[in-house]
Structure 1
Amino acid sequence: MELKWPLHAKSFCLCAGIALPLTGFADVVDDSHLSLTLRNLYLNRNFTNAGAPVSKVGNWSQGFDLQFESGYTDTPLAIGLDLNGQYAIRLDSTGNDGSLPFSRHEQKAADDYGRAGATLKLKYAKTIARIGDQKPNYPVASNDPSRQLDTIYQGAVIESRDIDNLTLVGGRFWSIVTRESSNHERLYRYGTNDSLDSDGLDFVGATYALTPDLQASYFHGVLNDIYKQDYGGIKHTLKFADGYQLKTDIGYFNNREDGAARSGPVDNQAYFGLLTLEKNGHMVGASYQRMTGDTVFPTLNGYVPQGYLPNWAGLPFIRPDERSWSVRYGYNFAAMGVPGLKLFTRYIKGTDIDRGAGLSRDRESERDIMLSYVVQGGVLKDLGFELKNMKTQTRYGNDYDEFRLITTYTWKFW
């Protein structure tokens, strides 16, 4: 198996390799960090409806994620270089669950796969430019750590915090490595043909903290000649004297086609609200999410999740006209003297789904249970375990019952 370094990444490494030794090299090394994360993933999805095309899919795999993060040169324009390498081995698999590269011709998952890359960093005052591999968490482009190897974008991003309480960001992503791939590919709209791709995703955004407990955000993104997207959101935390915290998260997306509209019409507006109340380790919450317009909420190739939508789960609840609500409960057992142990449960119901002219409306639901534990001390300190169970039901689709067991450990060399 060959790890492919894109030409841009090779150029960044060469430029950085020339620049870094000139001045301030000691700071680059002294402030650096090297870590290796081991991730073992077991996934088993059983389809429970009689008409399902297959009875089950799943996989068992072992992943390795090596990350080098440099410091910066001691120069007016500080320079740094981050390196990354990811590799995974298939231990067992049944069918295609979207976690590993899958050959439709051979009808089997790849034995192994990997990727590697670099990120050149430039820093001036409180402004940082990153060129190369990125793992963003923005409304217009987000990472996907849900399976074995996560999503990596390649692009150029500038983020500035020079103005108090204001974070400004902007840039362009020109390629993506999806969770089940080794290769960088151009961006396109999920659910369409990869020949209908884009020159890149351009975006700008701003987040302003009006108070320490209240912030507002706006983002605008354009997947050129495919779709454009606007997002506005507000997050607020209300603290009570007796230890209660009420958190509010509300937002709105407006999606429509851009330019040549290579992937066809895009007409989707989504708004949502999430309220959570926290006290002594307990969390209870409720959310509402509404889709309007004639098309599904647009996402990027690789089925990258939209983490800003509160009802995105195993099912995304983003189909045309869909109304969905959820109730959730979580508990941090540190409040009972068991630090590192956490529970999260959730039930989501979606209704009024438009399946097209002349077809009856669809509905769907999902129940999630998630239990995680991180060892707090001893030889196995920081070893993490996560158990998930997701059960879905739809009126016209395929129902499934899925279990995931994830074990992680990060070895920090320095």
Structure 2
Amino acid sequence: MRVMKWSMIALAVSAGTSQMAFASAQDESKGFIEDSKLNVKTRMLYFSRDFRNNDSGKSRVEETGLGFLGTYESGFTQGTIGVGVDAIGMLGLKLDSGKGRAGTGQFPAGSDGRSQDEFSEGGAAIKFRVSNTVLKVGNQFTALPVFATDDSRLLPEVAEGALITSSEIKGLTLNAGRFTGLNAQNRTGHDSLNLKEANVLGGTYAINDALSASVYYSKVEDYWRKWYGNLNWALPISDDQGLVFDFNIYNTRGEGSNEIRAYDGDKLNNTAMSLSAAYKVGPHTFTLAHQRVKGDGDYAYGVDGGGTIFLSNSVARSDFNAENEKSWQARYDLNFAQFGVPGLSFMTRYVYGYDAHVADSSKGKEWERDVDIKYVLQEGPAKDLSFRVRQATYRSSDGVYYGSASIDELRLIVEYPLSIL
């Protein structure tokens, strides 16, 4: 299967050589200052988890924080080789917490077990561009299926390394990178996730307007190597109806001194895959998804980025990624724009997992129900200010998820992105 996918990319490169004529981004550069962008995003997050049967004795964690994320992106100098600089500045402030309620993952913990009042982080990267190819070296956010930084708390993870992104051929985007550090969402020190080295390679090709394919490979020193593949097919039916099919697959094999092993002691070696089908009609979208893990061990990720799980049933609380687990999802989305309320959206889903191989059971079960409501202001001085409510109910009688088997989770999120330049 990998050979077929790599052959597809090779054919795409060969066929696309006649498509080199589209505009060069570097030729259109206006200059280092002229193309600069400065943005500040403010996020207030209330996060609570009610543990219904936690053996550790803590029945609830509950904290509120205020985060500021500033990003500066310069333009590129003019000429054959453009040079620029990107910078990141982040500040997290604790608004409400307590020693008995700490532990939401929003803040660093002090020696007394309390969350710190504030934490901050900064970083920068230098970038070079030739035609439509960019090399970025330094601190950055990533969104590759085999190396993706997480942004599910107050502030995001930050990676350190080098990444090349090339779009020289129309429809084809290629990536190659080497990362030597990854900082957690609630840490300020260098490489808090203990990443030695991760090398990634791959790309995505838009075969036509409806069909795209992706192939990626990664090797994380002392942990594992991964292959990832994706096919996405959008099928229009009419002006307000359409189908979207999305297939994802990972093959992971443990390697090195920190390799993860399955419950029976075998080395990590599994395949995780998901297939979803979404039907959109007017403001409504109905989605069904199936996911399964085959082989030894759970699908593993984290040291290669907390977002490195591009599977359909990776949802708010659980990823449904246990060894041998199979899961189904039913999801419904509603866009209220057609009802006269642009900016308002609603989502609910239910995921059921079974046959999970866990430490004390070979047939573990789990389920999760999520509700998500979001409203974004469409105009006025506070345009793009958003309010979001996310509620998750998770249950498992078999301890499939690492920790409490029964959790009620609530997140209230207010975000305001401000473009200064």
TM-score, normalised relative to structure 1? 0.88
What's the offset of the Cα at 1:143? 2.1
Aligned twin of 2:278: 276
Distance 2:292 2:235 in 1: 25
Count of residue pairs brought into register by the alignment: 380
Q: Relative to 1, partners in 2 of residues 1:220 and 1:25: Cα closer, same or farther, differing over 3 Å?
A: closer
Distance 1:82 1:56 in 2: 40
Aligned twin of 2:337: 334
Q: Relative to 1, partners in 2 of residues 1:331 and 1:25: Cα closer, same or farther, differing over 3 Å?
A: closer
Distance 1:347 1:395 in 2: 17
Correspondent of 1:64 among 65, 68, 74: 68
Does structure 1 retain, via aligned residues, the 8 Å contact 2:136–2:163?
yes
Query: 2:295 matched to 1:293?
Result: yes
What's the offset of the Cα at 1:330? 0.4
Aligned twin of 2:157: 151
TM-score, normalised relative to structure 2? 0.86
What's the offset of the Cα at 1:262? 4.7
Does structure 2 retain, via aligned residues, the 8 Å contact 1:178–1:301?
no
Aligned twin of 2:178: 172
Give the secondary structure class of the aligned counterpart of 2:32: helix
Does structure 2 retain, via aligned residues, the 8 Å contact 1:239–1:245?
yes
Alignment of 1:29-108 (within 5 A): 29-49=33-53, 51=55, 53-93=57-97, 94-103=101-110, 105-108=111-114
Query: 2:189 matched to 1:183?
Result: yes
Distance 1:116 1:59 in 2: 24
Does structure 2 retain, via aligned residues, the 8 Å contact 1:214–1:234?
yes
Does structure 2 retain, via aligned residues, the 8 Å contact 1:83–1:118?
yes
Q: Quick one: which amino acid aligns to residue 277 of structure 1?
A: Y
Correspondent of 1:407 among 414, 418, 421: 414
Q: Relative to 1, partners in 2 of residues 1:37 and 1:45: Cα closer, same or farther, differing over 3 Å?
A: same
Give the secondary structure class of the aligned counterpart of 2:371: strand
Aligned twin of 2:144: 138
Question: For structure 1, which segment, 122-131 or 176-185, has the greater mean C-alpha deviation from structure 2 after superposition?
Answer: 176-185
Aligned twin of 1:203: 200
Aligned twin of 1:322: 325
What's the offset of the Cα at 1:260? 4.9
Q: Relative to 1, partners in 2 of residues 1:226 and 1:376: Cα closer, same or farther, differing over 3 Å?
A: same
Alignment of 1:222-371 (within 5 A): 222-260=219-257, 262-263=259-260, 265-301=267-303, 304-313=306-315, 314-356=317-359, 359-371=361-373
Correspondent of 1:220 among 217, 221, 235: 217
Q: Quick one: which amino acid aligns to residue 271 of structure 1?
A: M
Does structure 2 retain, via aligned residues, the 8 Å contact 1:228–1:256?
yes
Question: For structure 1, which segment, 295-304 or 368-377, has the greater mean C-alpha deviation from structure 2 after superposition?
Answer: 295-304
Q: Relative to 1, partners in 2 of residues 1:115 and 1:50: Cα closer, same or farther, differing over 3 Å?
A: closer
Q: CA RMSD in A?
A: 1.9
Could you report, residue by residue, the CA deviation over 1:241-282 in whole angstroms, capped at 9, with x for unpaired residues?
252110000021100022555555322210110111112111
Aligned twin of 1:395: 397
Distance 2:270 2:174 in 1: 26
Q: Quick one: which amino acid aligns to residue 162 of structure 1?
A: E
Q: Relative to 1, partners in 2 of residues 1:341 and 1:180: Cα closer, same or farther, differing over 3 Å?
A: same
Distance 2:196 2:51 in 1: 38
Correspondent of 1:115 among 121, 125, 130: 121
Does structure 1 retain, via aligned residues, the 8 Å contact 2:220–2:304?
no
Distance 1:138 1:387 in 2: 27
What's the offset of the Cα at 1:90? 0.7
Distance 1:169 1:360 in 2: 39
What's the offset of the Cα at 1:411? 2.0
Could you report, residue by residue, the CA deviation over 1:24-73 in whole angstroms, capped at 9, with x for unpaired residues?
99821111111211110001111123756311002100011111111110
Does structure 2 retain, via aligned residues, the 8 Å contact 1:229–1:256?
yes
Q: Relative to 1, partners in 2 of residues 1:263 and 1:407: Cα closer, same or farther, differing over 3 Å?
A: same
Q: Report percent identity of matched pairs.
A: 31
Q: Relative to 1, partners in 2 of residues 1:28 and 1:95: Cα closer, same or farther, differing over 3 Å?
A: same
Does structure 2 retain, via aligned residues, the 8 Å contact 1:186–1:199?
no
Distance 1:378 1:172 in 2: 43
Q: Quick one: which amino acid aligns to residue 91 of structure 1?
A: L
Give the secondary structure class of the aligned counterpart of 1:30: coil
What's the offset of the Cα at 1:148? 0.3
What's the offset of the Cα at 1:144? 1.3
Would you identify which runs of 4 or more consecutive aligned residues in structure 1 move more than 6 Å?
A: none
Q: Relative to 1, partners in 2 of residues 1:214 and 1:228: Cα closer, same or farther, differing over 3 Å?
A: same
Give the secondary structure class of the aligned counterpart of 1:296: coil
